Amino acid sequence: MSTDPVPAKSPDVDPAFEHTRPRRGSDEIDAFLRAVIKTGASDLHIKAGQSPRVRIGGRLRKVEQEAAPTEEFEARVLSMLSDDERQTLVREGSVDFAYDLAGDARFRVNVYAQETGLSLAARLVPREIPTFEELNLPPIIGKAADLARGLVVVAGTTGSGKSSTIAALLERINNERHDHIITIEDPIEFLYECKNSLVDQREVGINVPSFELALRALLREDPDVVLIGEMRDAETFRAALQAADTGHLVFTTVHAANASQTISRLINLFPLDEQPMIRQSLVLSLQSVISQMLLPSCAEDIERVPVVEILVSTPIVRKLISEGEEAQLGDVIRAGQEGMLGFAECLVDLTHKEMIDEKVATEAAPNKDEFRRLLAGIKTTNIQFFGG
């Protein structure tokens, strides 16, 4: 008989801890979502009492399917939520979660209350993390993955491809560097496999109760690279600045249209008396702001293509931010130094490459006169590389 000691089972360990992500939905819901994927849609929208709609190539299209009765639809939606998530929906009017399809893909889902009942918006998140080439991003953006420290902000409106751009950056780091990457997301979108780097992903509400607790523990977890899913409030941004100030490389996203709006939005998270100090911290930490939007492409086999603006933290950029003159950042970007790139220059390049129709590019240009001048060859921009 063996005399080896038998390890005692700790009464403090909850066996559910090993399987914290709940199984959601049903075979019927899985089958419907797989059918959505086959259409090539990026998003699914379902409203109580309405036929489903999918977004293909940036446009919403109605699915030829009879609307489920409101009570039946809402029962299906609620069946996908945990008890805590149902309480969040009642308390806050909306709730976010990730829905996994085994072996296929996953969806980032938002369920929200509206005047006639519940609605659901689901964004497809592919299992395979896209490369810069697959996303048709300018190669210059990849230079952000070579940075050792500081803050990189990816800005854009909803559906502009921010998450995919950051995923491509993190996957390049994962492949090429021996770092510890920690992501804090609500919910987790892209799933990473550990390659040369060690990757830990924490989902708020499942792996950690709140962003606040995750950020409080962050620096004790010895990260090299950090993803904070979104700048939501002053405390989140303060934690991001602290991580960047202490020698970490921090990626995050902001809902903003361009670089100058991004800086203003971040600063305005704080009361007026704190803003001068936050400006100085941002001056010391900021490496780059990458703003982007997605436009329909006229190239074969490409549905949408990103149009980007790149701000690099140079001495003049730091001076403008320090002095509260971020409205002038657009002029600095248009000068094209240190690898900076404006929306107009990017639109011209994509038009010349026949990836975007000239009419579409003109309509999307923030400054149409500038775009027309550049398209006519009045100015050329020499794109180089990210600054330090």
Average pLDDT over residues 217-222: 94
* Domain chopping of the chain, boundaries: 15-126, 132-375
Answer whether 341's CB lies under 8 Å from 335's CB.
Answer: no
pLDDT at 152 over 80: yes
CB 114 within 8 A of CB 99: no
Q: How confident is the model at residue 10 (pLDDT cuts 50, 70, 90)?
A: very low
Sign of the torsion angle spanned by Cα atoms 369, 375, 378, 380: positive
Query: What percentage of the chain exceeds 90 in pLDDT?
Result: 69
Question: Does the structure show a pLDDT above 70 at 63?
Answer: yes
pLDDT reading at 238 higher than 70: yes
Tell me the pLDDT tens digit for each residue of 306-332.
Answer: 999 999 999 999 999 999 999 999 999
Mean pLDDT value across residues 127-148: 92
- Which of 122, 125, 115 is closest to 45 using CA atoms? 122
d(C-alpha 184, C-alpha 381), whole Å: 37
Specify the CATH number for 15-126; select among 3.40.718.10, 3.30.450.90, 3.30.70.870, 3.40.50.10490: 3.30.450.90
Between residues 126 and 272, the one the model is more confident about: 272
Q: What is the mean pLDDT of residues 237-260?
A: 95
Q: What is the pLDDT of residues 159-168, one digit of tens each?
A: 899 999 999 9
Quote the CA–CA distance of 388 and 373 in Å, as a whole number.
31
User: Which superfamily, per CATH, for 132-375?
Assistant: P-loop containing nucleotide triphosphate hydrolases (3.40.50.300)
Write out pLDDT tens, residues 18-47: 445 666 778 888 888 999 999 989 999 999
pLDDT at 388 over 90: no
Q: At what angle do helices 275-285 and 259-267 cross, to 10 degrees?
A: 130
Q: Which residue has the higher pLDDT, 171 or 232?
A: 171
Residue 191: pLDDT band with limits 50, 70, 90 = very high
Q: Could you read off the pLDDT of 90-122 as tens digits, one per residue?
A: 999 999 998 988 766 889 999 999 998 999 999
pLDDT at residue 60 tops 80: yes
Q: Which of 238, 223, 104, 251 is nearest to 164 (CA)?
A: 251
pLDDT score recorded for residue 6: 40
**pLDDT at residue 210 in the model:** 87
- pTM comes to 0.84
Proportion of the chain above pLDDT 70, given as a percent: 91
